[in-house]
Amino acid sequence: MTSPTDEALRLPRLIPILFAVALLGLVGLTTWQWRDGPPVTANLLQLLPSGAPGELEQLAEKRMQEPLNRDLMLLVQHTDEASATALASEITDTLTASGLFAQVRRSVEADLSAIRQQLLEQRLALLDTASREALIAGPEVFVQQRLQRLYNPFEGSGLVPVEHDWFGIADMTQRQLPQPGNVRAGPDGQLLAEYQGQRWIVIHAQTHGDAFDERLPLQVEQLVEDARLQVETAKGELLASGGLLHAAHGQRQAREEASLIGSLSLLATLALLLLLFRTPRVLLAVLPVAVGALSGAAACIALFGQIHVLTLVLGASLVGVSIDFPLHYLSKSWTLQPWNGHLALRLTLPGLVLALLTNVIGYLAMAFTPFPALSQVAVFSAAGLTGAFACATCLLPWLLRAPLQPWPAPLGWAERGLRLRQALLGRIATPWLLGVFVLYCAFGVPQVSFTDDLRQWVSRAPALQEQAQRIGEISGFQPTSQYFLVRAATADELLASQEALSSRLDEQVAEGRLAGYLALSQIAAPATAQKNLQLALPHLLEASAPLLALGVDPERLEAELLTLQTQPIAELEQVLAGPLGEPWRPLWLGSQADGSVAGLVSLQGLGDSAALTGLTEGLDGISLIDRPAELNRLFAETKTQAATLKLIAAGLILVLLCLPFGWRGAARCLAVPLLAALGSLASLGWLGQSLTLFGLFGLLLVTAIGVDYAILMREQVGGAAVSLLGTLLAAVTTWLSFGLLALSSTPAVSNFGLAVSLGLLFSFLLAPWANPSQSHPQARRPHGTA
Amino acid sequence: MIRAIARMFLALCLLPLLAASAHAFDLAQLSQQLREPAVIRGQFVQEKHLRALPLPLVSRGQFVLARDHGLLWLLQAPLQQDYRITDSGIAQRTDSGWEAAGQHGTTKRQNELFLAVLGGDTQALQRDFELDLQGSSDAWTLTLTPRAKLLQQIFTAIHIQGSAATERIELLEPQGDSTLLLLESAQIDDQLSPVEQHDFSY
């Protein structure tokens, strides 16, 4: 039975029909976007601004990242050596049989003849700098040392037979060849690493795909877990490390957290709605949340091609704000009796529109930072909120027409709360309270550390980190994110540059600040150096009396000299192509389009990146690439930028709010969220927390939400107590979706959750000041009915 | 690596040996017998037979084998050079004291294996070699044949002969080169001289 007034209040029927059509279109778009599987990515790099400007820098970055994303290192240890070998062999077989790996290596396939050949043909290029200098400076000493090595019972003969290497150049080369890390081949060819009296068998595997492939990390993790179980059952020990395992951990963690936090917040929200409104119908209020998530994802995929897991996690909660829209008008049912959804919507619509606009302005400001992570979250949120708003206004009132009888007790609590507040204000006036608040902030804010670290973006995995660290200690392979990019006109100049850098790095190694490094100049001598060596060879022949005394045929010595002198100069690429060049191959970036060449110097076990500063001074064409530092710097810049953008957005919001409230009212409404943000920043300081980029984003989000609360408290549709209750409800549901993120094991996400939780608390507490009449006990207004 | 392996074998040769069983005199007894003396001193002759040289490379010197410390190998002719092998690796004497030989060192496993041989640890050797013991306690021959392929590319066999102590070690390489070590006039003692003590300690 509807009265004529009801008819007049009713909104046009066309609205829900149009909305349904739009929703169908959205579902269709999403289905089409997901046609080839989920367009979801977990690649952290895609969230970061591409800091590497040039093609060469990108190639270098790719070279350095590849082993991190593909390599898996396993160490097996058992008190009984035969068992260790058997276990390692079984694991190797399992890994190989899985088909996931391009290579699984447990022993050196000693292709001794290929190594022998390279030593023979390229010994002048392979000979290390010190030996080259020694040969030229003192041929007699060089021959004398050769003799000593021939007699030394503990130094067996080299790979190249003595009759082809009387002068011992190949022998010296083989001896001085840098051996990166502690991993050595045992007598049976098995790769071993010895550390603190323990012997570990090393298995090194490389996957076909990389850590960002969707399923690969979890598959590899499973294989490793099986292997671990197998080894531990046999009372041995297994250590594993690799980017893949971290990726798997992150994926699993994100999935578990998203479903735990998601279902927790959903269930709690539903329970709350049921408790307050006492009809299952009210559960329809979550519909806008679903529509919001759908529109957010669709907008992101349409704009960016795909959506990142982190965006999905943060964004999904962000849309949790969208439940505020229906709550704000549903809360009017406490005083608006009999319940009329259309009337409630008409009454609250201006406030809701203002709330939506201020929110969207706030989010879109974020989209202009150069950080893809922030742009994605901003686009997701803006689109999501708009979708949710549309659903809440265009569909929900038609679905929620039945009488609504909310639980009356909460309204009484809200009234009591307001009375308490008035009593407090009666004793201590607002300016005094503000003074205390300012003091709190003045001492809290300076305690906040504004550090950012890429590691905060990755969920903590202490077990994996501990293993990686132990493997680093045992194997001596401690890859470092910092490296040097060296550019030169020719390969010779490149080698010379790298050598100059190497001598500076040697000092750092000697001082213990660096465990080691790999440079192309370690494996190949420049052509000029090879020619100098050839010129010095006749002196070696002149000094060869001790060899002749052994009975060596002089003709043989002359023949060897002639061979060495007529040997073609070995180019860097030829040296790298040989079996001995393998560890150095990734360092060579080759010739560029302009004919110049480029190569890398990689570092191992860097204690403090400060050790590298100033090392390139005076060396042309060498640049230190320190991506983590670069990113952290970028984080800091982005924070400033985001804060600036937010201030501009605040200006826009102020202008917007001036329209309904006048500039005084607008300033009051804006002061609430800004003070709330300041208060939570100070609280972070008191709690000893830092403000990360994501934490800042949380604060910015809170200012947007805080504006909503201020607007609704100012509008006071249905009375102050009802508005306070509506604000409380909105704050609680928002906290359920964001505040719970504080539980996340990813520091960036948890920092975000904490910032939002604090901000919500302050926004709620400060919101009543948005209405001037609420600030003075004298101007108390009767409330209760609309 | 090859060098390290070679080193291990050469070293192992000097030493007391071990393992598989014969009737009257077995590896366990041999181990036992070789582990008995605390210190053995003597002179050595090393002959390196290279196919490319008409005459072997012959060198001479003194050795001190201490059961609880390791080995001192003092090369005296045709050149002078002192070596020391302990469980921390192989070192070479320089003007400034002992210096670890080679920049990379061996893996601990190789040192351990070598010292296991010194100490008469049967199991360690049997892992990498087939062992064959002939003769009696005062005239025995132990033949080592490598099991692993990598080792086979370096040695075909190692023959060790001795009585109360090891007396003769011969290493055969696949290309036909060989090394012969003769340990002569070995004398047994129960302690090191102060100089030797010092050499092992620093």
Asked whether residue A616 is assigned to any structural domain, the reply reads no
Per-residue confidence (pLDDT) for residue A110, from 0 to 100: 60
Determine what percent of chain A is predicted with pLDDT higher than 70: 91
pLDDT in tens, A362-398: 788 777 777 777 788 888 888 998 999 999 888 888 8
Estimate to the nearest angstrom the gap between the alpha carbon of A588 and the chain centroid.
27
If asked whether residues A211 and A313 sit together in one domain, one would say no
How many residue pairs from chains A and B have C-beta atoms closer than 8 A? 122
Check residue A774 and give its pLDDT. Answer: 54
Q: Which chain B residues contact residue A152 at CB under 8 A?
A: 75, 81, 83
* pLDDT above 90 for A519: yes
What range does the domain containing A61 cover? 57-109+186-247
- Residue-wise over A89-123: b if at least 16 C-beta within 10 A, else e? bebbeebeebebbeebebbbebeeeebbebbbbbb
| Residue A260 CB contacts under 8 Å (≥ 6 apart), including other chains | none
**Closest-CA residue to B165 (of B41, B69, B25):** B41
Q: What is the pLDDT of residue A531?
A: 93
Same domain, A409 and A556: no
Task: Please state whether beta strands A40-41 and A307-308 pair in parallel, antiparallel, or not at all (unpaired).
Answer: parallel
Whether A338 maps to a domain, the answer reads yes
Among A41-45, A85-89, A680-684, which stretch is predicted with the lowest mean pLDDT? A41-45
8 Å CB contact of A187 and B110: yes
CA-to-CA distance for B49 and A759, rounded, in angstroms? 85
Q: Which of A762, A673, A680, A765 is nearest to A711 (CA)?
A: A673
Residue A302 predicted with pLDDT over 70: yes
Chain A contact set for B175 (CB, 8 A): 161
Please determine, for residue A530, whether its predicted confidence score (pLDDT) is greater than 90.
yes
Contacts of A470 (CB under 8 A, 6+ apart): A239
> Does a structural domain hold residue A625?
no
Residues 6 or more apart whose CB falls under 8 angstroms from that of A712 comprise: A328, A348, A351, A355, A723, A726, A727, A730, A767
**What's the confidence (pLDDT) of residue A78?**
92
Measured CA to CA, the distance from residue B19 to residue B142 in angstroms comes to: 9
**Residue of A751 and B110 predicted with greater confidence:** A751
Q: Quick one: which of A212, A748, A48 has its CA closest to A453?
A: A748
B69, two tokens = 């410390």
Return the pLDDT at A159.
77
Residues A19 and A34 in one domain: yes
A490: in domain: no
How much is the CA Rg of chain B, to the nearest whole Å?
Answer: 16
Q: Do B11 and A154 touch (CB under 8 A)?
A: yes
A478 belongs to a structural domain: no
The single residue listed with the structure tokens 């059961």 is B67
pLDDT of residue A46 exceeding 70, the answer is no
pLDDT reported for residue A10: 67
Of A148, A153, A187, the CB nearest to B128: A187
Segment A688-700 shows an average pLDDT of 82
Q: Where are the domains of chain B?
A: 2-201
Question: Is the model's pLDDT at A451 over the cut of 80?
Answer: no
Distance from CA of A108 to the nearest CA of B (A): 9
DSSP per-residue string spanning A305-346: SSEEHHHHHHHHHHGGGGGHHHHHHHGGGGTS-S--HHHHHH
The C-alpha atoms of residue A672 and residue A676 are separated, in whole angstroms, by 6
pLDDT confidence of residue A209:
79
Per-residue pLDDT at B98: 85
| Residues A146 and A280 placed together within one structural domain of the fold | no
Closest residue on chain B to A144 (Cα): B79
Residues of A within 8 A of B81 (CB-CB) are 148, 151-152
pLDDT of residue A784: 35
Place of tokens 């409104």: A277
CA distance A617 to chain B (A): 30
- Per-residue pLDDT, averaged over B157-184, amounts to 84
Stretch B103-128: mean pLDDT = 55
DSSP character for A403?
-
DSSP alpha helices (H): ranges in A212-323? Answer: 216-233, 243-277, 287-304, 309-318
Q: Which of A6-15, A578-587, B82-91 has the highest mean pLDDT?
A: A578-587
E strands, B14-128, where? Answer: 39-49, 57-66, 70-77, 81-86, 89-94, 97-100
Residue B111 has what pLDDT? 53
Residue A695, CA distances (Å) to A49, A371, A439, A669, A701 in order? 19, 15, 22, 23, 10
- Residue with more model confidence, A84 or B127: A84
Region A430-445: mean pLDDT is 85
A292 and A397 share one domain: yes
Cα(A763)–Cα(A700) distance, rounded to whole angstroms? 12
Residue of A707, A755, A785 lying closest to A324 (CA atoms): A707
Whether residue A299 sits in one domain with residue A234: no
CA of A83 vs chain B CAs: smallest distance (Å): 12
Please say whether the beta carbons of A248 and A69 come within 8 A.
no
> Quick one: angle between helices A527-542 and A554-566, nearest 10?
170
Return the C-alpha torsion angle A251, A256, A262, A268, nearest 10: -170
Tell whether omega for the bond before B78 is within 30 degrees of 0, i.e. cis.
Answer: yes
Q: Are A238 and A75 in contact (CB under 8 A)?
A: yes
Query: What is the ipTM, given to two decimal places?
Result: 0.78
Predicted confidence band of residue B66 (pLDDT cuts 50, 70, 90): confident
CB A578 within 8 A of CB A118: yes
A225 belongs to a structural domain = yes
- CA A395/CA A286 separation, integer angstroms: 12
Split at pLDDT 50, 70, 90, the class of A487 is very high
- A69 by Cβ neighbours in 10 Å (0-12 / 13-18 / 19+) ranks as buried
Chain A residues with beta carbon closer than 8 angstroms to that of B182: none
Contact A143, A167 (CB under 8 A): yes
Check whether residue A283 and residue A174 sit in a common domain: no
3-state SS assignment for residue A8: helix
Q: Is A591 left (phi over 0), alpha (psi -120 to 50) or beta?
A: beta
Q: For residue A386, is it within any domain?
A: yes
Confidence of residue B16 (pLDDT cuts 50, 70, 90): very low
Sequence-distant (≥ 6) Cβ neighbours of residue A588 within 8 angstroms: A520, A572, A573, A576, A599
Last residue of a domain, which of A247, A262, A277?
Answer: A247
The highest-confidence range among A129-133, A452-456, A707-711, by mean pLDDT, is A129-133
Contact B128 A163 (CB under 8 A): no
In this structure, of A16-20, A438-442, B91-95, B105-109, the range with the lowest mean pLDDT score is: B105-109
Average pLDDT of span A188-198 = 82
> In this structure, is the dihedral angle defined by the CA atoms of residues A601, A603, A608 and A611, taken in order, positive or negative?
negative
Q: Does domain B2-201 have CATH number 2.50.20.10?
A: yes
* pLDDT band (50, 70, 90) for residue A343: confident
Q: Residue A458: what pLDDT?
A: 67
Residues A117 and A231 in one domain: no
What is the count of structural domains for chain A?
A: 3
Residue A622 in tokens: 């060498």
pLDDT beyond 50 at B67: yes
Of A229 and A318, the structure prediction assigns the larger pLDDT to: A229
**Shared-domain flag, residues A231 and A296:** no
- Mean of all residue pLDDT scores within chain A: 84
Specify whether the CB–CB gap between B11 and B160 falls below 8 A: no
**Residue B166: φ, ψ to 5°:** -70, 135
Whether the Cβ atoms of residue A336 and residue A345 lie closer than 8 Å to each other = no
* Rounded average pLDDT over A335-363: 83
Looking at the structure, do residues A278 and A345 belong to the same domain, yes or no? yes
Q: Judge: A188–B151 Cβ closer than 8 Å, yes or no.
A: yes
> Does pLDDT of A633 surpass 90?
no
Helix ranges, A71-188 (H): 81-98, 112-126, 129-137, 139-151, 169-176
* A195-209, A331-345, B51-65, range with the lowest pLDDT: A331-345
Residues of B in contact with A157 (CB under 8 A): 6, 173, 177
How confident is the model over B51-63, as a mean pLDDT?
A: 88
Burial class (CB in 10 A: 0-12, 13-18, 19+), A543: middle
Q: What confidence category does residue A455 fall into, taking pLDDT thresholds of 50, 70 and 90?
A: low
Please give the share of chain A, as a percent, with pLDDT higher than 90: 20
Q: Cα separation of B48 and B61, whole Å?
A: 15
Contact criterion met (CB < 8 Å) for A176 and B103: yes
* Separation CA A213–CA A204 (nearest Å): 20
Task: Verify that A295 and A342 share a domain, yes or no.
Answer: yes
Q: How far apart are CA A546 and CA A549, in angstroms?
A: 5
What is the average per-residue pLDDT within A407-414?
Answer: 86
- CB A502 within 8 Å of CB A494: no
Q: What are phi and psi of A135, to 5 degrees?
A: -65, -45
Largest CA distance in chain A: 126
Interface of A with B (CB under 8 A): 81-82, 108, 110, 112, 147-148, 150-159, 161-163, 174-176, 179, 184-189, 192-194, 197, 199, 550-552, 556
- Residue A579 in domain: no
Domain match, A172 and A259 both: no
Judged against a pLDDT cut of 60, whether residue A317 lies above it is answered with yes
pLDDT at residue A315 tops 90: no
